[in-house]
Every structure is written in C-alpha cells, then in structure tokens.
Amino acid sequence: MKTGTSLGSIAATAVIACGIVCVADSRVRAQESPRTLVAIFAHPDDEQVVSPLLARYAREGVDVHLVIATDGQKGVRDHAGIPAGEALATARAAEARCACEKLGIHPPILLGLVDGDLYTTQSKTTVLREVARLFTELKPDVVVTWGPDGITGHTDHRMVSNVMTQVVQRGATDAPRQLFYSGLSAERLAVIAASAGRGVPPGMATVQDRFLPVRIAYEDQDAAAAGTSLACHESQYTPEEMARMSGMARGAEDGTVRLRPWFVDPGRITDLFE
C-alpha cells in the first residue's frame, strides 16, 4: 500500500511538473514570436541610410520589411542610359528587390507613387491610407523612417517623415510602439570629410550628435551586406560612387547606425522656462 501510494504521488507530481513546464514553454514560445521592424522611405535606394541596421536585425531573426513610397522613375543618371518613365521605374523596382535579398529582409513593398509628387494632396492621401493598412497587416513593433530634415533635404524624404509621424501620433490602429528617425551625425561627417581632404557635401542636412542618442551597433557581416545591397542600385551609382559612398557611410557611422526617437515623454510641463 505504501509503495503504491508513493508511486502514485510520484506520478501525480510528474504530471503537475510537466504541466508547469508545458505552460512555461508555451509562454517562452509566445515571447519568442518574431518581432517586426518596418523601414519606410521615399525612393528605391533610400534604405542605404540604415542598411547595416536592417541586415543586423534580419540576421537576428526579426521580421524586417522595407516600404518604398515612390517608383523612382525620375532618377535619371547618364551612366545608366535609362530614360525617365516606366523603364526606369521597372529597373529600380528590380534593384530594390535585389537590395532586400542581399540584406536578408522581406521583398520590398512598393507603393508605386511618382517620385517628386509626394507633396500633392492625392499622393499624401494615398501614403496615409497605405501606411495605416500596412500597420494593420504587419503590426510592426518598430518603424524607422526619415527624420524631418530628410538628410539630403529632398521634398519626398521630408514628406514621408511627416506622413509617418502623422499616422503614429494620431493613434492609428496597430501603430508601432516605437518610431525612430534616421540622422547623419554632423560631427562624424565633418571628421570623415576632413580626413578625405574634402568638405561636407553641399545640401546635406546633418544633425548634431547630441540629437542622435539611439546608437544601434552592427557587425562586419552587416556592413558587408550593406555594401552588396548598395551594389544592386546600378541605375543610380557608378562603381566608383558606390565605393566612395560605402567608405564615407561606414566611417561616419563608426560601427553604429544613429537614430533619434520621435517622442520621449518628459512628464507634465507647466512652464516653458523650467
């Protein structure tokens, strides 16, 4: 009798333990469900400003998506010999797919708007609608986009930043928990330009380092993936330009992609001069 009772107790304890472990395992699996990062930019090739970051998170198992607002059909470069219009849009779509493959992220989501026209009411309305739809579909935890300066100051860059901010701050359904702006460090770029014996490229809207507190480190393999993804954009850059861009970008980054959060809650403020 005692032996039977002892065996029964052991069996019961084992069942309970198994139940606890199974519940714990299910919770761990739930916590380990894929995180989702969405990068939203204006043109095919804009992703290069954060490409090592995208490669790193994809390598770590994050679901990484790239959304491109325009078709790039006006980005004519003499060396490519492709006229503006549908042929160039087709070429740049293929380049975007190539770049995503090299970065190890999902194929690009192409909204197909005409570049240079994002300021129009119709284009802004389309981007607002499509971004809200993608939030519902992808449910991103984090979104990365242009800062309000757009780095190069391009109107399309600025519009994407503005629209993204509008969608998030109005509390859209399934809006991300975090929105980050990309930025180019004024101090780092000045150092790199000086070492190369040239000035900072004209028109670059740099940001002081103190305004870029988010530093996402990446590894050499992520930098390599960024380089191979840049090589996909043959219609936009010559091999010499690609080499120069990669060198300057990696030097300016100094091993980290710099970002700033869209919003940090400072608590209630009742005096502007506190």
Digit-coded pLDDT (tens) for 12-45: 444 444 444 444 443 444 356 689 999 999 999 9
Within a domain: 27: no
pLDDT at 240 > cutoff 70: yes
Evaluate whether residue 218 is within a structural domain: yes
User: Has residue 13 been placed in a domain?
Assistant: no
Is 21 domain-assigned?
no
206 found inside a domain: yes
pLDDT-based confidence at 196, cuts 50/70/90? confident
Instruction: Say what the pTM is.
Output: 0.85
What is the number of domains present in the chain?
A: 1
The residue segments making up the domain with residue 65 are: 34-259
Look up the CATH number of the domain holding residue 42: 3.40.50.10320
Give the mean pLDDT of the chain: 88
In a domain, 4, yes or no: no
**Is 8 part of a structural domain of the chain?**
no
C-alpha distances in angstroms, 137 versus 43, 132, 174? 22, 9, 9
Q: Which of 168, 70, 158 is nearest to 128 (CA)?
A: 168
Question: CA angle at residue 257 from 223 to 174, to 5 degrees?
Answer: 110
Residue 147 within any structural domain of the chain: yes
Contact (CB, 8 A) for 139 and 174? yes
Cα–Cα distance measured from residue 135 to residue 23, given in angstroms and rounded to the nearest whole number: 30
Q: What is the pLDDT of residue 32?
A: 62
